[in-house]
Structure 1
Amino acid sequence: MEAMSKSLHCLSMKLTEEWFRNPALERFSDEMRNSPRLVDNNLYHFCIFSDNVLATSVVINSTVSSADHPQQLVFHVVTDEVNYWAMTTWFLMNDFRGCTVEIRSIKDGEMNFKDLRFESRLNHLRFYIPQLLPLLEKVLFLDDDIVVQKDLTPLYTVELHGNIMGAFDPQACGWAFGMNIIDLIAWKKVNVTAKYHYWQEQNADRMLWKAGTLSPGLLTFYGLIEPLDRRWHVLGLGYDKDIDDRLIESAAVVHYNGNMKPWLELAIGRYKHLWERYINFRHPSITGCIMH
């Protein structure tokens, strides 16, 4: 785990150095920030919250590679201040089949977070999506530990029947974050973020749950989930060594939830190639940092 942490740090430092060495990158970044595509509801919008450049790149690369019309895809990536320059440099220097990638950083105090002293604020941004993307009507949330294997745009036409979110398995203790279609108009009507704040306040003493986003997610979105076909989202590649190959092959999204992330040395070997095929290990920024 430590070796890969050093590799990812090496990549981040390399890209950050390039940002300060190449002043044109900031100009390109400013132009991207003003693109009308970022608020065009006729396009397909995705949001990713991550501090991992390589993982985010795999998510976006696999999504556009699987899409029928990648030029119609817009990705809103939110990272922290430390990794902002590296993330921005990577997506400005590399083309992802004509899609649009916006990079933003989240600053302390920018969102009304409720007592997250010991947790990553990026993980909890999923409860603030309408505040981050106020002009959008619908968005597809993607975790950074997934690989996309099929075109996801048909999810935009799934009937949510007034619910806020589409997720695999509607059972209260079974659905998961990772790949979720979200109706932002319905979200605002119900004020889901206020529900999240309520449960955070109820858990001020950490007696309901210790940490993480799944528990507050299950409570906040209780009764607001529309079930998706299981083939959209296959879970467990980060802990289960015995998932049926046919299930993996048929999945639109495979999810490395668990501790054995595909970028770590302890990753499950039989699933690693699904992730690595979306990395160009000959890329000059990757060469010398990440061994293959």
Structure 2
Amino acid sequence: MTCILLFCATSLATQNQRIPTTKKFREAPKFYNAPHCPRILDDDTTSNKENICLSSSDKIVHVAMTLDSAYIRGSLAAILSVLQHTSCPQNVFFHFVASASASSSLLRTTIAGSFPYLNFRIYPFRDSAMAGLISTSIRSALDCPLNYARSYLADLLPQCVHRVVYLDSDLVLVDDIAKLAATPLGGDKVLAAPEYCTANFTSYFTPTFWSNPSLSVTFANRKACYFNTGVMVIDLNRWRAGDYTRKIEEWMDLQKRMRIYELGSLPPFLLVFAGKIAPVDHRWNQHGLGGDNFRGLCRDLHPGPVSLLHWSGKGKPWARLDANRPCPLDALWAPYDLLKPPFSFDS
């Protein structure tokens, strides 16, 4: 089964911002397949590195990530964590989604500099087309167009890609990503994600929404629970057949007119999918490590095992480490940081 894992930066600086020239990144070690892995992507030619629709693509774990200058450091750490903890790293294919206004050559050079052996492709995202759909939210960083790329995967990715796992870039994995990629979706589910039914679901929508019977009926006969859209397994064939991108856009258009929610790109996903998703174990999204969206205070892990650490929220581990004000769990992100020290003699 073909699977793509998409990492997306949860917030961006300006779309035209460049990768700071003062920041340089180390080359990561190369990781090799275990003996049981099939040999698929062992050709170093450019044509093979960018060939998505291989005849043996069902044996490939496709990984994708949104790229921007503000989050490139987190993206590189996420890539390293994926490769380090999977049994078949040479069979991983990365797909990067970047703003059409960004310098794809600069992003390509940065990725190839740290991972010269990586199989990847960069896709331009027409973020200017999102301007008329995005409403202001409680944190300006959540309003950046690239945050909404997850809603357009079925349009961006080739038709030969039948399944996608979307992941944010402010995270690291400490388990084999192939396990998450193999999550069963059942006979009719479009996506799977860890659900959190103890969260106050009503708080994600405004009184305007709940007081309008024609809107609040959306969740009738649905056991609607909060889920974090930074970790999702998506069946793209079912998504395309159901035209779910357009359904999400309809809610975004209504939001522009009625203000039915406050929090960026998450609520439209809840409106369309909450109560209709396949379960994923909570170990695959230990989220909220960045604190809330206002103060970014330190948080502890949720009870239970851990396969993925996710710094969703305002605080990011690289920023807190640079400011010498890290949270305790930021030490778990630090080993994946490829940023060179400022006075490194390694060119």
TM over 0.5: yes
Residues 230 and 246 of structure 1, relative CA distance in 2, 3 Å threshold: closer
* Native 8 Å contact 1:91 1:101 kept in 2: no
Corresponding residue number in structure 1 for 2:65: 48
Taking the aligned partners of 1:88 and 1:228, their CA distance within structure 2 comes to 32
Within-5 A mapping of 1:83-102:
83-95=103-115, 98-102=117-121
TM-superposed deviation, 1:244: 4.3
Query: Is 2:273 the partner of 1:221?
Result: yes
Which residue type is aligned with residue 35 of structure 1?
Answer: E
TM-superposed deviation, 1:242: 4.5
Q: What SS class does the counterpart of residue 333 from structure 2 fall into?
A: helix
- Which deviations, in whole Å up to 9, do the C-alpha atoms of 1:92-119 show, x marking residues without a partner? 22227x542222332345x577522753
Residues 200 and 209 of structure 1, relative CA distance in 2, 3 Å threshold: same
CA RMSD of aligned residues (A): 3.0
Taking the aligned partners of 1:229 and 1:94, their CA distance within structure 2 comes to 32
Query: Is 2:175 the partner of 1:167?
Result: no
Taking the aligned partners of 2:145 and 2:103, their CA distance within structure 1 comes to 14
Query: Is 2:344 the partner of 1:280?
Result: no
* Native 8 Å contact 1:233 1:252 kept in 2: yes
- More off after superposition, 98-107 vs 163-172: 98-107
Corresponding residue number in structure 1 for 2:20: 12
* TM-score normalised by L of structure 1: 0.78
Q: What SS class does the counterpart of residue 181 from structure 1 fall into?
A: strand
Residues 10 and 263 of structure 1, relative CA distance in 2, 3 Å threshold: farther
TM-superposed deviation, 1:224: 3.1
Query: Is 2:327 the partner of 1:269?
Result: yes
Corresponding residue number in structure 2 for 1:35: 50
TM-superposed deviation, 1:68: 0.7
- Which deviations, in whole Å up to 9, do the C-alpha atoms of 1:235-291 show, x marking residues without a partner? 1211163424874xx311111111111121366421112212112344xxx6459xx
Query: Is 2:240 the partner of 1:188?
Result: yes
TM-superposed deviation, 1:155: 2.4
* Native 8 Å contact 1:15 1:89 kept in 2: no
Q: 2:122 pairs with 100, 103, 106, which one?
A: 103
* Native 8 Å contact 1:32 1:102 kept in 2: no
Q: What SS class does the counterpart of residue 76 from structure 1 fall into?
A: strand
* Native 8 Å contact 2:195 2:282 kept in 1: yes
TM-superposed deviation, 1:210: 3.4
Residues 42 and 243 of structure 1, relative CA distance in 2, 3 Å threshold: same
Q: What SS class does the counterpart of residue 74 from structure 1 fall into?
A: strand
* Native 8 Å contact 1:84 1:103 kept in 2: yes
Corresponding residue number in structure 2 for 1:23: none
Taking the aligned partners of 1:38 and 1:61, their CA distance within structure 2 comes to 24
Corresponding residue number in structure 2 for 1:149: 174
Q: 2:314 pairs with 250, 255, 259, which one?
A: 259
Corresponding residue number in structure 1 for 2:300: 243
TM-superposed deviation, 1:62: 0.6
Q: What SS class does the counterpart of residue 79 from structure 1 fall into?
A: strand
Taking the aligned partners of 2:338 and 2:119, their CA distance within structure 1 comes to 20
Which runs of 5 or more residues in structure 1 are unaligned?
17-29
Query: Is 2:159 the partner of 1:115?
Result: no
Would you say how many aligned residue pairs link Structure 1 and Structure 2?
262
Taking the aligned partners of 1:10 and 1:165, their CA distance within structure 2 comes to 34
Which residue type is aligned with residue 139 of structure 1?
Answer: V
- The 4+ residue runs of structure 1 with deviation greater than 3 A are 9-16, 30-34, 37-42, 111-114, 244-247, 286-289
Taking the aligned partners of 1:10 and 1:185, their CA distance within structure 2 comes to 36
Taking the aligned partners of 2:306 and 2:47, their CA distance within structure 1 comes to 33
* TM-score normalised by L of structure 2: 0.67
